[in-house]
Amino acid sequence: MLESDKAFAGSIPENYDRFMAPLIFEPFAADPARRAAALSPGAVLETAAGAGVVTRALAPDLSAGACYVVTDINQPMLDYAASRQGPDDRLLWRQADALALPFQDASFDVVLCQFGAMFFPDRVRAYREAKRVLKPGGQFLFNVWDRIEENIFADDVTNALARLFPSDPPRFLARTPHGYHDAALIRRELMEAGFSHVTFETIAEQSRASAARIPAIAYCQGTPLRNEIEALDAGKLEAATDCAAAAIEDKHGAGEIAAKIQAHVIAAA
């Protein structure tokens, strides 16, 4: 993973939440929230919480006495997520690295992570940390995107930018968000980290937008793909966004559009 793949700064957090959240994260947020709430946890840790999409989905379903610790390594993202959440004494916001969690052993009933594992530079170490802070019988719930070909708008954007930058195509989306989808590898890494029971479920949803420009802005300006585009040519961000929008509109039409998104949901204990 390139260092720029982890940089969520500047206007990226706001664009990420404004455009990416409804486009691809909200369709999946209810699923891990439902699974976590069904376990009736007294203490929940969320890692790589991003803009807080799952936090907003899960918090209302936790008991009045629950403790919900929300973390992300990226302080601007965490600040933005906290600003979107109403006052709630059960929530604690804390900057934390999933590879070195600042919590005692056996502290949580559930560790939850939505679409964050792909960004961990050492996933086995992160999984060991999740295992360490779980109480006996606790559960680690997370999801990862399936391969980019199963996530249509992301694939459309990647292919469009490859035509705009033929000598050095921006590959952030294929390399990182959609680069960790091999079930055998994920299971092996979880087992290496100490988990003994791992289940997988593949879920497809629909990504919907009011116009083709929405996913173009979402991916090109609301993710670290922006960093890669600007590194190639600092003046071509708008041209890249226009190129992606034109490709999506050409394929899916003007007006409201929809396309498949797909992810793997993993539970480990």
Which amino acid is present at 162?
Answer: A
Domain boundaries, the chain: 3-268
C-alpha 137/C-alpha 54 separation (Å) is 23
**pLDDT of 242-261, one tens digit each?**
999 999 999 999 999 999 99
Single pTM value for the model: 0.91
Which amino acid is present at 110?
Answer: V
C-alpha 117/C-alpha 94 separation (Å) is 18
Instruction: Map residue 250 onto helix, strand or coil.
Output: helix
Place of tokens 């933005």: 80
**pLDDT of 189-220, one tens digit each?**
999 999 999 999 999 999 999 999 999 999 99
Q: For residue 133, what are its two tokens?
A: 């802070």
pLDDT computed for residue 166 by the predictor = 96
pLDDT computed for residue 149 by the predictor = 98
CA 68, distance to chain mean position in Å, is 19
Mean pLDDT for all residues in the chain: 93
Q: How confident is the model at residue 14 (pLDDT cuts 50, 70, 90)?
A: low
CB-based burial of residue 206 (10 Å sphere; 0-12 exposed, 13-18 middle, 19+ buried)?
exposed
| 7-16, 105-114, 178-187, 198-207: segment of lowest average pLDDT | 7-16
pLDDT computed for residue 245 by the predictor = 98
Phi-psi region of 194 (alpha: psi -120 to 50; beta: other; left: phi over 0): left
Place of tokens 């497809």: 204
pLDDT computed for residue 233 by the predictor = 94
DSSP code of residue 142: E
CA 230, distance to chain mean position in Å, is 22
Going by C-alpha positions, the residue among 65, 66, 45, 43 that lies closest to residue 54 is 45
C-alpha 162/C-alpha 160 separation (Å) is 5
Contact 232, 170 (CB under 8 A): yes
CATH classification number, 3-268, choose in 3.40.50.150, 1.20.1630.10, 3.30.465.10, 3.30.565.10: 3.40.50.150
Beta strands in the chain (DSSP E): 43-46, 67-72, 91-95, 108-114, 134-145, 198-209, 257-268
C-alpha 111/C-alpha 164 separation (Å) is 41
Q: What are the Cα distances from residue 57, in Å, to 33, 37, 157, 159?
A: 6, 10, 28, 33
Going by C-alpha positions, the residue among 202, 153, 155, 152 that lies closest to residue 174 is 155
> How confident is the model over 163-180, as a mean pLDDT?
96
pLDDT computed for residue 192 by the predictor = 98
Could you write out the DSSP letters of every residue in 217-229?
HHHHHSSTHHHHH
